Amino acid sequence: MPPAPKIIGVVVRRENPAAVTFARTLVARLGSRGVTVLVEPEQADLAGARTVEKTAMVAQADLIISLGGDGTLLSVARLSATPELRVLGVNLGALGFLTEVTMDDALAATDRVFAGEYRLDHRTTLAVRVRRGDEIVAESQVLNDAVINKSALARILDLTASVDGEYLCVYKADGLIVATPTGSTAYSLSAGGPVVAPSVGVILLAPICPHTLTQRPLVLSDSAVVRVELAARDSGIALTLDGQEGVPLVTGDVIEVEKSPHGVALVRTGPRSALTVLREKLHWGER
């Protein structure tokens, strides 16, 4: 049986009153087990927990419990600096592709973790860098996707793409999505990209509203290095990370994307598989 976690970080979606209320119960339950509980400074009123910034929490904790929706979990995953950050997602949002544990089952799910009754659902992340000349002006990682997109007033973008140093094409489109298998059910799906099982090692390229029917979504090996240069001369163009962080772009910027060495392991305590989640959330087979 794997060792029980000794340090647990609790990340709370503070805008959700139910999440804040439940966090008090959860922290008390964990404290009764002698576990060191870490929370963000904004949750300093949680008795029995130690406050640290989220980046430090992710670096120190054996397990992160995310209380919110998929977005809350994504905000944690982007901070992973280990080969396998373990996250138990409690779904207090609307969709819950990643956070499958309900609040009603959350305390029982944590008990199952301490009993070793869980499995790990391994997910890859993508390392993303923005080069401006010889300087890296931004870098991060994503669990879902990195999206180059434009404001409402910007013109069609010209995005020169290459893979492993080989020229691919110039995407003439409203934008371009570079996604993980996890992100295949997010923005990429809306852009016509394929649904990919999370365990498959691929990187997805999906143009947004391409201005030619010949430019279709592309599936690459996850060993590929994708390079996209922004040739457009408009302002209001940005790189969006997991739909949560934005990096303003200028003409000539180069976005580099490749598989990150920092992965995420979603802690699963129930019987539902990734295929079950897809069938239920996407309503496959229903009329």
Compute the distance between CA of residue 255 and CA of residue 249 in angstroms, rounded to an integer: 9
- Residues 85 and 185 placed together within one structural domain of the fold: no
User: Which pLDDT score, from 0 to 100, does residue 92 have?
Assistant: 85
In the numeric block, which tokens belong to residue 105?
A: 């089952």
Q: Which domain holds residue 144?
A: 126-259
Q: Which of 45, 62, 70, 253 is catalytic?
A: 70
CA dihedral of residues 205, 72, 65, 2 (deg, nearest 10): 0
Q: Are 76 and 11 in contact (CB under 8 A)?
A: yes
The residue among 129 and 283 whose pLDDT is bigger is 129
Question: What is the tens place of the pLDDT at every residue in 113-126?
Answer: 999 999 999 999 99
pLDDT-above-70 percentage for the chain? 97
Mean pLDDT of 35-48: 90
- Domain-located, residue 72: yes
| Same structural domain, 101 and 189 | no
Query: For 81-113, how does the pLDDT look when each residue is reduced to its tens digit (9 = 90+)?
Result: 888 899 999 998 666 778 879 889 999 999 999
Tokens of 128: 């993303």
- Scanning the structure block, which residue is given the tokens 């390079």? 227
- Pick 232 or 66 by higher pLDDT: 66
Residue 219 has pLDDT above 80, yes or no: yes
Task: Please write the tens of the pLDDT for every residue from 66-86.
Answer: 999 999 999 999 999 888 899
Q: Which amino acid is at 192?
A: G
Report the domain count for the chain: 2
Q: How confident is the model at residue 24 (pLDDT cuts 50, 70, 90)?
A: very high
Confidence of residue 63 (pLDDT cuts 50, 70, 90): very high
User: Looking at the structure, do residues 41 and 111 belong to the same domain, yes or no?
Assistant: yes
Pair (246, 130) in one structural domain: yes
Same-domain check for residues 156 and 61: no
> What was the pLDDT predicted at 3?
79
CATH number of the domain within which 238 lies = 2.60.200.30
Query: What is the predicted pLDDT for the residue at 100?
Result: 79
Two tokens, residue 221? 């090996």
Active site residue 134: no
- Give me the mean pLDDT over the 7-15 stretch: 94
Compute φ and ψ for 255, nearest 5 degrees.
-105, 120
Q: How confident is the model at residue 152 (pLDDT cuts 50, 70, 90)?
A: low
* 39 Cβ contact partners less than 8 Å away, ≥ 6 residues apart: 9, 10, 11, 12, 23, 27, 46, 49, 50, 51, 52, 57
- Per-residue H/E/C for 266-278: EEECCCCCHHHHH
138 and 115 in a single domain? The answer is no
Q: Tell whether 210 is covered by a domain.
A: yes
Residues 144 and 242 in one domain: yes
Residue 120: per-residue pLDDT: 93
User: What pTM did the predictor assign?
Assistant: 0.92
Mean of all residue pLDDT scores within the chain? 91
Same domain for 150 and 238, yes or no, is yes
Looking at residue 95, what is its pLDDT?
67
Based on the domain organization, do 213 and 228 belong to the same domain?
A: yes
Evaluate whether 70 touches 97 at the Cβ level (below 8 Å). Answer: yes
Question: Within a domain: residue 2?
Answer: no
Residue at token pair 């120190």: 60
When mean pLDDT is compared across 7-21, 32-46, 94-108, 208-222, the lowest value belongs to: 94-108
Q: Which of 81, 71, 80, 72 is nearest to 43 (CA)?
A: 72
Residue 239 · residue 128 · CB < 8 Å? yes
